[in-house]
Amino acid sequence: MKPLFVVNASMNKTLQFFDYEQCFWHYADLIAHIRQAKIQGEVIVAKPVFLLTIIDAVDGDIVSDNNFQLNDWIEERYNNLMKQYTRASHFDVPTGIDKPFWHLESDGFWHLAYPGNLRPKVATPSKHWLKENVRYASLDEELWILLQNKTWRTKLRDFIVEQKLL
């Protein structure tokens, strides 16, 4: 899905020729079907929590372009949300941010940019490796545009909470 007309979409600006509802339902469907691990019958909520972190970073003007890096704000927000959404967990240690930052790429709308052809040699690289070797991560451009509008950003955040975390 591509917008018919693109301008610089700043916070809360609505693009006239962009179908926000269609875009919302497209990404809601993708998010509803993200792969989540189960350990001892418990669904791991790291990816939905990470998505909330990304939405909160956009909402709080922590990021101003479609360029996300593992930084202190992102990691602290993620850890706080993990504590909130894993209160009933049987596990003492919540999933670290490196797991969803890395594994969300397999769901098709989160993209990691590496210098050159560099790729890790392990299934899940460490947080240190990701900080050192991933230049940035980005969302599909259409999802990024959707998140620039507060109404749709809030709607997507609510969808994630209701469908993946409650």
In a domain, 11, yes or no: no
Number of domains composing the chain: 1
The CATH number of whichever domain residue 126 belongs to comes to 1.10.10
82 occurs within a structural domain: yes
Q: Is residue 32 part of a domain?
A: no
Phi and psi based region of residue 134 (left: phi greater than 0; alpha: psi -120 to 50; beta: remaining): beta
How many H-runs (helices) and E-runs (strands) does the chain carry?
Answer: 7, 4
- Bin 108: left if φ > 0, else alpha if -120 < ψ < 50, else beta: left
Task: Answer yes or no: is 12 within a domain.
Answer: no
pLDDT given at position 46: 97
Task: Assess if residue 22 is contained within a domain.
Answer: no
pLDDT at 5: 42
Percent helix, percent strand, percent coil in the chain, to nearest 5: 50, 10, 45
**27-53 burial: b if 16+ Cβ within 10 Å, else e:** beeebeebeeeeeeeeebbbbbbbbbb
pLDDT of residue 94: 85
| 33 domain-assigned | no
Alpha carbons 3 and 18: distance in angstroms, whole number: 5
Contact 94, 82 (CB under 8 A): yes
**98 in any annotated domain:** yes
Domain hosting residue 101, numbered range: 39-165
Q: What is the mean pLDDT of each run of 10 residues along the chain (166 residues)?
A: 45 77 98 95 95 98 95 97 87 88 96 84 86 95 97 98 96
Residue 18 lies in a domain: no
